[in-house]
Amino acid sequence: MSLGSVKIKKLLKNSICAVLLSMSFGLSAWSASVAVNVNSASAEQIAETLKGIGIKKARRIVEFRKSIGPITSTDQLMEVKGIGEKTVARNEGLIEF
């Protein structure tokens, strides 16, 4: 292989990596900006969307809404074990009722 071929191959490899990296950042930024309705979303959807909410807390939210009916406010959401003011503040704009 000539030196020119090696440079072109390296340039293509770097370009492809840059494009893929840009796409992954773009997708994660997009998904983080989409709100989730805590009354209709699955535990998996809640965990994927809300910051600081893993699958265990998300399941608690789903169980809570099943037991009391639709959640109508952040105050009510904070009644779920593990969901406090900091978690709600961190997810401002991402929580819908």
Q: Which residues contact 97 (CB under 8 A, 6 or more apart)?
A: 37, 38, 39, 70, 71, 72, 73
Is-contact 31 43, C-beta < 8 A? no
Query: Does the predicted TM-score (pTM) go above 0.85?
Result: no
pLDDT in tens, 18-74: 555 555 544 444 545 699 999 999 999 999 999 999 999 999 999 999 999 999 999
